[in-house]
Amino acid sequence: MIDRIVQLLKSARYAMALTGAGISTESGIPDYRSKGTGLWEKVNPAEMASISYMLSNPKEFFEFNITQWSKYADAEPNVTHRVIAAMEKAGYLRGIITQNIDNLHYKAGSKNLFEVHGHLRTAHCMNCAKKYEFDELVNQFSKGINPPRCTCGGLIRPDVVLFGDPMSGDFYRALEQVQKCDLLIIAGSSLQVYPVAEIPLYCEKFIIINREPTPFDERAEVVIHDTAGKVFESIAEKLDIYY
């Protein structure tokens, strides 16, 4: 199956990657739906990670979410992030679409990156739109200031897409790019969160690398149910690229 993936990559005119939370578990970040460890097994995401909950219960919203998000700050890219960045640099991938907000593709050096659910590098005031580094939220929270406030008194929120938010500009830019795509490598995504889960339908062919089955497995050219790190390490070896 690795040989088939490499063959498809070498013959593709415009290959891209789509990644989800499953690729970051090897960096110590739990995913959302894995049995026994998935974050969404314990809480209702449509409530705890929603714009309506942030506005109606800001203290509880930040208590839950900043505790989770601050864990991402020290996480480092793993083999999957590094191989994907190296594949882009070598010309095998034209761009990376990610559902993840953990900054790990960014840290790994991916350039043509579409963070469709936003990221945890910046934040902004909902009142005056003043921009902040994400660290400002963590610093205020650690000092007991909850919810985090702007100098104008407005609420500071992270630049991530919450449930109930409109999709980011990156999502629409990714849709434009993927219209050209003849091969999409999907890694670590359950393909259950819409509208991102529709992206494979825009591509001629796609490959799925995910530990659990997805609703799109039957349509894929290749399906591997395994950890992403192991698979991408093998792909890098076959492509003879350094990561």
Q: Which residues are annotated as a binding site for Zn(2+)?
A: 125, 128, 150, 152
**Cα separation of the two ends of the chain:** 21
Contact between 45 and 163 under an 8 Å Cβ cutoff? The reply is: yes
Q: Where are the beta strands (DSSP E) in 126-161?
A: 131-133, 156-160
Query: Which pair of tokens denotes residue 208?
Result: 């799925």
Binding residues: 125, 128, 150, 152
Query: Which pair of tokens denotes residue 175?
Result: 């849709």
Whether 119 is catalytic is: no
Give every CB contact of residue 210 below 8 A, 6+ residues apart in sequence. Answer: 20, 22, 186, 187, 188, 189, 190, 191, 224, 225, 228
156-160: strand order across its sheet: 131-133, 118-125, 156-160
- Whole-number Cα distances in Å, 237 to 78, 82, 85: 16, 13, 14
Kindly name the residue from 81, 105, 117, 119 that is annotated as catalytic.
117
Query: Quick one: how far is CA 141 from the chain centroid?
Result: 24
Enzyme catalytic residues: 117
